[in-house]
Each structure stands twice: as structure tokens, then as C-alpha cells.
């Protein structure tokens, strides 16, 4: 009887940790990182757009990433478990390096007053989706709930348009060859509104990030997981 009570109590505590914000927890997520030089080029382009487009919030260049799995508030001991399963998943051989292309622009929400303005992702999207599925499966094995909405990879550039005039979509314009990311410029999957300056890079790791609200940059690297 006592053993059953302890088991039920342990299960209850475990479930509560996953469903309620952790007072001493860390807000974490898993993402694909971008090369530093490419972040700088996107940041320079974003700085030019700020003059013309009054969004409430612009993403700091250092914070640019492609989200794979949002996890949320997590206790430190659970973060350690996450690090373990993510390391195993990355080294399993199931995820191979793949090439992504920064390509095009788009929005979420009402086109004239978008909630999110983003840069699109092309290239090996199948490889990206495979990485996302493996990451989601790994964290789900620990009891964390996978996102139910369809996966739509993108780079968030700005949020909440506040202009008095309807928003007009700017083109993606980076300087060709300005980055030393070490990859060729891809064209596969490029939307019609993209300039010839699309850039590609090889993804060979995923990263566990921690969010620090009201701080710039907002995201701290907790751990990196190179593909085996």
C-alpha cells in the first residue's frame, strides 16, 4: 500500500513539473543555429528595414535561429535529462548534415498588419523536417508534449506591425558572397520575391537554448549537439 502511494505521488509530481511553469525553471527550446557571418548580414539588412517598417519588436541578430521544438519552463534536473536524450539522438546517426538556404520573405497574420515578418527557409527541407521529427520524438520520450501545429520553419525577423499604412513585403536582400559561411548559394525552393543574394549553409548540429526575457540577446546556448 505504501509503495503504491509513493509511486502515485512520484507520478503526480512528474506530471506537475511538465504541465505547470517551473518557479525555478529555465525556459528552453531546441533549434538549428546559423553561422555568425550570416547572422551579421541578416542583422545589417534588418537594421535598414527598421527605418521603414515600424514593428514593435525586431529580432536581435545574435538570436536568429530556426526552432525545431519549443519545450518551455523546465526544472534544472529535467534540463539535464533533455541534454542526455538530445545528445543520444544527435549521435545516433539518424540525423545527417544537410544544407539549408535562406530564401524569400513572408508573414503570419493579416498581410496588411502582420504579427510576424519572417525570412524563408529552402534547400534540404526534408533533412530539416527529419531532424525536427527526431528531436520531437526524443523530448516526447521524457513526457514533454510535442507541438500539434504543422511545422513551418522560418527565421523570425520582426513581430507586430504598427504602421499606419498597410505593410508591403520587402525583398530579402543580402550581399552575395559577403558571408564566409563556406557554402554555395542555393536556389531550390526560392520564392518569387527573393533576390539573388540567397545564402546557404551546412547544418551539422542542433542547439538547446535558454530564454532570458527582457534581455538582449535573449537566448543563451545551454548545449550543442553535433551530429554523429
What's the topology of domain 25-226? Cyclic Phosphodiesterase; Chain: A, (3.90.1140)
Taking the model in full, what pTM does it have?
A: 0.81
Q: What is the pLDDT of residues 168-216, one digit of tens each?
A: 999 998 865 444 443 323 322 333 233 334 489 999 999 999 999 989 9
Report the pLDDT value the prediction gives residue 199, as an integer from 0 to 100: 82
Domain positions in the chain are: 25-226
Report the pLDDT value the prediction gives residue 148, as an integer from 0 to 100: 82
Average of per-residue pLDDT across 154-181: 83
Cβ atoms within 10 Å of 224's Cβ, excluding its own: 13
Q: Measure the CA angle with vertex 121, ends 34 and 167; round to 5°.
A: 105
CB 105 within 8 A of CB 193: yes
CB 53 within 8 A of CB 170: yes
Report the pLDDT value the prediction gives residue 170, as an integer from 0 to 100: 95
Residues with catalytic annotation? 65, 154
Cβ atoms within 10 Å of 12's Cβ, excluding its own: 10
% of the chain beyond a pLDDT of 90: 73
Q: What is the pLDDT of residues 11-70, one digit of tens each?
A: 433 443 444 444 578 999 999 999 999 999 999 999 999 999 999 999 999 999 999 999
Q: What is the pLDDT of residues 79-111, one digit of tens each?
A: 999 999 999 999 999 999 999 999 899 999 999
Report the pLDDT value the prediction gives residue 176, as an integer from 0 to 100: 55
Is pLDDT of 143 > 60? yes
Amino acid at each position: 500500500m505504501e509503495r503504491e502511494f509513493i509511486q502515485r505521488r512520484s507520478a503526480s509530481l512528474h506530471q506537475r513539473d511538465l504541465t505547470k511553469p517551473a518557479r525555478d525553471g529555465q525556459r528552453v527550446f531546441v533549434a538549428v543555429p546559423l553561422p555568425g557571418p550570416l547572422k551579421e548580414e541578416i542583422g545589417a539588412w534588418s537594421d535598414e528595414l527598421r527605418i521603414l517598417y515600424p514593428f514593435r519588436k525586431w529580432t536581435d541578430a545574435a538570436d536568429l535561429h530556426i526552432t525545431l521544438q519549443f519545450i518551455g519552463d523546465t526544472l534544472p534536473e529535467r534540463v539535464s535529462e533533455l541534454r542526455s536524450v538530445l545528445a543520444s539522438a544527435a549521435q545516433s546517426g539518424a540525423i545527417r548534415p544537410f544544407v539549408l538556404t535562406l530564401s524569400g520573405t513572408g508573414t503570419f497574420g493579416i498581410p496588411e498588419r502582420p504579427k510576424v515578418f519572417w525570412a524563408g527557409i529552402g534547400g534540404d527541407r526534408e533533412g530539416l523536417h527529419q531532424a525536427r521529427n527526431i528531436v520531437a520524438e526524443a523530448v516526447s520520450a521524457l513526457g514533454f508534449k510535442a507541438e500539434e501545429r504543422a511545422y513551418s520553419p522560418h527565421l523570425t525577423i520582426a513581430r507586430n506591425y504598427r504602421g499606419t499604412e498597410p505593410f508591403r513585403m520587402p525583398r530579402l536582400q543580402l550581399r552575395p558572397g559577403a558571408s564566409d559561411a563556406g557554402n554555395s548559394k542555393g536556389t531550390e525552393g526560392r520564392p518569387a520575391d527573393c533576390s539573388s543574394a540567397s545564402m546557404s549553409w551546412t547544418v551539422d548540429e542542433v542547439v538547446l537554448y535558454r530564454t532570458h526575457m527582457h534581455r538582449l540577446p535573449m537566448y543563451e546556448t545551454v548545449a550543442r549537439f553535433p551530429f554523429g
